Amino acid sequence: MSLAKPVMRGLLGKRLRFHLPIAFALSLVAAAGFKYMVTEPRKQAYAEFYKNYDAVKEFNTMREAGIFESVRPSGE
């Protein structure tokens, strides 16, 4: 009773023909999922934030708090 020899000839090509399309499809699904579940909400959040953002008001708030060394608060 002997074991049958495994078929080694063409094994890599056979496995690649099976696994390569699956890997490609899964990578496309992962890229699309990342785009629509991470990137798009992040872009929306930034757009919403900067729609009401006033840089001059923010600068004046930081100046009055004394954050900047080159600009003195208006009280001094």
* Residue 27 in tokens: 């990578």
**Helical H segments across 1-76, by residue range:** 11-34, 40-51, 55-65
* Residue 13 in tokens: 């090509």
Question: Which one-letter amino acid corresponds to residue 25?
Answer: A
Instruction: Kindly report, residue by residue over 20-51, the tens digit of the pLDDT.
Output: 999 999 999 999 999 999 999 999 999 999 99
Give the list of residues 6+ apart from residue 46 with CB closer than 8 angstroms, or none. none
pTM equals 0.66
* Residue 72 in tokens: 């003195």
Gap between the Cα atoms of 1 and 35, Å rounded:
57
